[in-house]
Amino acid sequence: MSGAVHPAGAARGGAVRGAWLVFAVGAVAYVVTVLNRTSLAAAGIDASERFAVGAGTIGAFAVLQFLVYAALQVPVGVLMDRWGPRRLVVAGAVLMAAGQFLLAVSTDVPHALLARVLVGAGDAATFVSVLRVVTNWFPPQRVPVMTQLVGFFGQFGQVLSVVPLVALLHGAGWTPAYLAVASFSALAAVLCVLVLRDAPPGAPLARSVVPLRRVAGDLRETLRQPGTRLGLWSHWATPFSGNAFATLWGYPFLVSGQQLSTAGASALLTLYTVAAAVSGPVIGTLVARHPLRRSWLVLTVVAGQAVLWALVVALPGPAPLALLALLVVVVAVGVPGSMIGFDFARTSNPAHRLGGATGLTNVMGFTASLLLVLGIGLALDVQGAGTPETYRLDAFRWAFALQFPLWAVGVAGILVSRRRTRALLATQGVVVPRVRDAVRRDLAARRARAGR
């Protein structure tokens, strides 16, 4: 599926000088952001013991972080359109450093919740801003792949949260571990100040200087684009399973539910990170080569996740390790798969509305994620399995079954918005061929190239 409008991006034949250095610093900023976002992924049991709380409260830590993230997406998008992305990336790193410092020294729940608010706010400002930097520095035909490369490198933040951070937690202790995360965040802020730039020298910046009272009107216009709504629902349906698994509930599910060792659970979470990183460039390449088939990629990702989770929750006992590994891989693909939603937003809106469109898209995935994270915690509590001592597999099965209604809503939204997007494209003379016809055309083109 292609959108209706192609914004003015980096209209160059290739990346300009210095683009890769800027990209590298932006990628480092996102690595640190993912480390901050997932820093409770393998520390849920430690946090439960440190703050003497159950699963519902631990889930509230992640939910509050997601809620702040989602609530700030539209304001961040609007501010990015007005101020540029560099300032927001720096501000995000500073906020995350402050949040992790507070978490490092906290021993009570209110201060810990405030710490996660700061982390969520900093996280909210970073990702969409790095994506805008990429859009400004690279030509449009390379943006889908470059966007996936941002996600590829960002997954190393997940590795940092499940390997060295866990080692620090179990060695030096809680405070040194989270002080280390705060230090990395401060270092990222310094690097962004020194190197990151909004756009290449001399390039025009698509800044929106409209009064704030017109912002609501621009957002309404953005939402009227069916391609934007297709991006919203694509981002709703794809990432929540992986976000809930990697951010909080995957480690307890694997250790306490599936009876894996801590080393085995950490290995599967590392596999999750590798799968997300490796699949990202593949999805980016497919999106760039087949822009009229992006929605089919999204639906394929969702179907794979739903089938694997159905198999795992239907088993009467612990799942075989091979099935758990396959589940982790398929769930991980949802993270780069969710990037397709941003591509719909990018190709469906002019440049001066791109920040708001990206923010609206990002809201959807994290809204679904926070609903699932909160729902799992509450479902465990209701079943009397709300503490590490009482976690059990049957309770986790019912809790993770909450994913299926979320997928149903997302798929319905995708199908409806896709039909309306295709109708709009038809009025512009763009006809989306049937899958069968497109496959035949591609095969014929390959045969023709081979016969040259």
| Residue 384 falls in which region: left (phi positive, over 0), alpha (psi -120 to 50) or beta | left
Which residue, chain included where needed, has tokens 């800027």? 22
Structure tokens at 247: 């951010």
Residue 18: pLDDT band (50, 70, 90) is: confident
pLDDT reading at 425 higher than 60? yes
Give Cβ neighbours of residue 93 (< 8 Å, ≥ 6 apart): 29, 32, 33, 122, 126, 185, 186, 188, 189, 192
Residue 377: pLDDT band (50, 70, 90) is: confident
Most confident of 118-122, 128-132, 285-289, 433-437: 118-122
Give me the domains of the chain, ranges plus CATH numbers. 19-197+215-427 (1.20.1250.20)
Pair 291, 231: CB distance under 8 Å: no
Residue 308: pLDDT band (50, 70, 90) is: very high
- Bigger pLDDT: 314 or 450? 314
Between CA 177 and CA 339 the distance in angstroms is: 31
Pair 295, 230: CB distance under 8 Å: yes
- Closest by CA to 354, choosing from 197, 208, 149, 141, is 208
Structure tokens at 328: 């982790």
- Bigger pLDDT: 353 or 37? 37
User: What integer pLDDT is reported at residue 32 of this predicted model?
Assistant: 93
Pair 39, 247: CB distance under 8 Å: no
Residue 441: pLDDT band (50, 70, 90) is: low
Residue 415: pLDDT band (50, 70, 90) is: very high
- Please compute the mean of the pLDDT values over residues 3-12 and round it to a whole number: 41
| Residue 196 falls in which region: left (phi positive, over 0), alpha (psi -120 to 50) or beta | beta
Between CA 452 and CA 448 the distance in angstroms is: 7
Question: Could you tell me the sign of the dihedral formed by the alpha carbons of 94, 96, 100, 103, in that order?
Answer: positive
pLDDT reading at 452 higher than 70? no
User: What integer pLDDT is reported at residue 8 of this predicted model?
Assistant: 41
DSSP letter for each residue of 225-269: SHHHHHHHHHHHHTTHHHHHIIIIIHHHIIIIIS---HHHHHHHH
**3-class secondary-structure state, position 142:** helix
Least-confidence region, from 91-100, 366-375, 432-441? 432-441
pLDDT reading at 1 higher than 60? no
Residue 335: pLDDT band (50, 70, 90) is: confident
User: What integer pLDDT is reported at residue 101 of this predicted model?
Assistant: 95
Kindly report the average pLDDT of the chain as a whole number.
84
pLDDT reading at 327 higher than 80? yes
- Bigger pLDDT: 44 or 424? 424
Predicted TM-score (pTM) of the model is 0.71
Between CA 135 and CA 357 the distance in angstroms is: 14
| Residue 259 falls in which region: left (phi positive, over 0), alpha (psi -120 to 50) or beta | left
pLDDT reading at 432 higher than 70? no
pLDDT reading at 179 higher than 90? yes
Which residue, chain included where needed, has tokens 């079954």? 401
Between CA 106 and CA 111 the distance in angstroms is: 6
- Bigger pLDDT: 38 or 302? 302
Residue-wise pLDDT for 223-262, tens only, equals 888 989 999 999 999 999 998 898 778 888 999 899 999 8
- Please compute the mean of the pLDDT values over residues 391-406 and round it to a whole number: 93
- Closest by CA to 81, choosing from 211, 230, 257, is 211
User: Letter for the amino acid at 425?
Assistant: L
Residue 202: CB atoms within 10 A of its CB come to 6
